[in-house]
Structure 1
Amino acid sequence: MGEPNHSPGKELQHWTQAETPGKKSWHSQAYALGAISNFMSTFLTFPIYKVVFRQQIHAVTVSEALRQLWHEGPQYFYRGIYPPLLSKTLQGTLLFGTYDSLLCSLSPVEPHSLGHRWAAGLMSGVVEAVALSPFERVQNVLQDGRKQARFPSTFSILKEFNSYGLWGRLSLGYYRGFWPVLLRNSLGSALYFSFKDPIQDGLAKQGLPHWVPAMVSGSVNGTITCLVLYPLIVLVANMQSHIGWQSMPSLWASAQDMWDTRGRKVFLIYRGGSLVILRSSVTWGLTTAIHDFLQRKSHSKKD
């Protein structure tokens, strides 16, 4: 690896670490920039997400998903946006902030090895899953058109969950589908942070504008991660759309049911995958570019 100043990713990391030399820091700037970049990218890409969710739940085409949303009316199009805005903002806060803190704890001196980046990414994904799974659970119930009459608002869903006993609130309520969420988030985070800087550094050597390597790096990582983890994404959406005290299928039974209802064909499990890949590519491209821009701007002000 070359000198730190020759690499945009390492250069930005040095700026953050330089704020408190000689001390272990929680890098408050990393948390703030992660929150802002995720909030902005989530707001911009929510329409794509809404169509994707309908495909995952009903196994329909893009045109049919759009027809459903059109039939429900524009007043429901942004139904469910508040949980993802809040959860994705918190996700960015935890993901970028904890990764930066954990990486510096594991490897105080650069260059950081692939193993250290992978470990820090994996652990930050675990923290993210534990903290944010309840938000995703509520969001998925809100976006299921079959439940609009029974659960017209976030409050009605929370009231249902809180009517259960303590264990029921966790297993049937807020943390329904937790294990696939944990696996998806930890692996996704590890993949993203392991390869983000190498891709960005390689492109930066071509003399491109700063935002181009960041956006391409985020887009490539988002695409690859989505392709690998898409079956888990579908499984989570289907598990978390269930609600109530009725008998809920186990993780294995849910996976088996998903496989059976998709005709035991991989390409049907990946139905909706084109939009998911597009959304993931655009979201992580925007998130990475915005985060890179804000970090550079913050550093230039300090200079």
Structure 2
Amino acid sequence: MGEQDHTPGKDLQPRTRTEAPGKKSWHPQAYALGAVSNFMSTFLTFPIYKVVFRQQIHAVAVSQAVRQLWHEGPQYFYRGIYPPLLSKTLQGTLLFGTYENLLCSLCPVGPHSLGHRCTAGLMSGVVEAVALSPFERVQNVLQDGRKQARFPSTFSILKEFHSYGLWGRLSMGYYRGFWPVLLRNSLGSALYFSFKDPIRDSLAEQGLPHWVPALVSGSVNGTITCLILYPLIVLVANMQSHIGWQSMPSLWASAQDVWDTRGRKVFLIYRGGSLVILRSSVTWGLTTAIHDFLQGRARSRKELKD
């Protein structure tokens, strides 16, 4: 382990590791830290997520989306929470764990450059998209109020998917809308990991409490990333809401349909943007703060043992 710098701006920086010759760089703890931080932030912010989803599907105002959920009754308010809770926990496991291990593989001896962080983030986003697209697909069907009668549970959706052939299970079932998911996740991860540490460390140099720079860094990164990629988020939600053997529109046709139904106006594509800002700020702020807190505790315990 390299020499420690105890200035405020350096305490939160990931310690660079100098691997011994022939020693494999593998950090399993990174997966556990990502899982816990994403689980907690997802549970706390699910109500905001569900309102945003209704806006993306029905192109309605915040108040109308809230009224929809209110009229459906409290028994349906948390309908669909288990797939995102599971998928976001797995997302954190893959995203943070894969990122850190890829980063150390690309550059075992720090400091890590912007190119290293961007490449590791991009690759971790690809892994995340491949592994978690099926969860997002089921989640989006469950949260579409128009399909509550036909698909009252996760099992009913899985039964529908398994009634297709092998290729149909993938293209029309679990991996419907995969290409925009892949683009959204890879770009989003690259942006998040490229700028998270620089923003956090510059704030930490101001002598703020340790949790503040992490919270602000995650909030700023999550907000900017989601606003840039919001059209892809809307496209994915609409593509994945389609189900059944009926003719499904292609990627281009789906994009054209979203553009047409939003009156060919950019500001209508961004309807729900205010809640996206709130959700992204809270979710990624909490995730980053919790992750950095747990990482710091784990690092302190390890130093005490050493």
What range describes the TM-score normalised by the shorter chain of this pair?
over 0.9
**2:171 is matched with which residue?**
171
Structure-2 separation of matches of 1:21 and 1:259:
55
Structure-1 separation of matches of 2:4 and 2:35:
26
Residue 219 of structure 1 pairs with residue 219 of structure 2 = yes
Percent identity reads 87
Answer yes or no: is the 8 Å Cα contact 2:12–2:210 preserved in 1.
no
1:194 to 1:71, Cα distance in 2 relative to 1, 3 A: same
**SS of structure 1 residue aligned to 2:96:** helix
**2:183 is matched with which residue?**
183
1:4 to 1:196, Cα distance in 2 relative to 1, 3 A: farther
Answer yes or no: is the 8 Å Cα contact 2:172–2:243 preserved in 1.
yes
Q: CA deviation at 1:78?
A: 0.3
Instruction: Give a deviation string over 1:214-255, Cα, whole Å, max 9, x none.
Output: 000000000110110000000000000000000000000000
Q: CA deviation at 1:130?
A: 0.1
**1:110 is matched with which residue?**
110
Q: Tell me the matched-pair count.
A: 297
Runs of 5+ consecutive residues of structure 2 not aligned to the other structure:
none
1:8 to 1:252, Cα distance in 2 relative to 1, 3 A: farther
Residue 255 of structure 1 pairs with residue 286 of structure 2 = no
Runs of 5+ consecutive residues of structure 1 not aligned to the other structure:
none
Structure-1 separation of matches of 2:137 and 2:4:
41
1:211 to 1:182, Cα distance in 2 relative to 1, 3 A: same
Normalized per residue, which structure has more helix?
1
RMSD of Structure 2 on Structure 1 (CA): 1.3
Structure-2 separation of matches of 1:85 and 1:9:
28
Q: CA deviation at 1:298?
A: 1.4
Answer yes or no: is the 8 Å Cα contact 1:26–1:97 preserved in 2.
no
Q: CA deviation at 1:25?
A: 2.6
Instruction: Give a deviation string over 1:42-74, Cα, whole Å, max 9, x none.
Output: 000000000000000000000000000000000
Answer yes or no: is the 8 Å Cα contact 1:55–1:271 preserved in 2.
yes
**1:196 is matched with which residue?**
196
Structure-1 separation of matches of 2:124 and 2:82:
23
Structure-2 separation of matches of 1:77 and 1:89:
20
Structure-1 separation of matches of 2:214 and 2:111:
19
Q: CA deviation at 1:9?
A: 4.3
**When the two structures are superposed, what TM-score results if normalisation uses the length of structure 1?**
0.96
2:238 alignment partner AA: N
Q: CA deviation at 1:21?
A: 5.0
1:32-43 equivalence runs, <5 A: 32-43=32-43
Q: CA deviation at 1:26?
A: 2.5
Q: CA deviation at 1:299?
A: 1.9
**1:231 is matched with which residue?**
231
Answer yes or no: is the 8 Å Cα contact 1:8–1:200 preserved in 2.
no
Structure-1 separation of matches of 2:4 and 2:102:
20
**1:159 is matched with which residue?**
159
Answer yes or no: is the 8 Å Cα contact 2:12–2:204 preserved in 1.
no
2:52 alignment partner AA: V
Structure-2 separation of matches of 1:182 and 1:44:
26
2:67 alignment partner AA: R
1:251 to 1:106, Cα distance in 2 relative to 1, 3 A: same
Structure-2 separation of matches of 1:194 and 1:4:
23
Answer yes or no: is the 8 Å Cα contact 2:25–2:108 preserved in 1.
no
**1:268 is matched with which residue?**
268
Structure-2 separation of matches of 1:265 and 1:4:
53
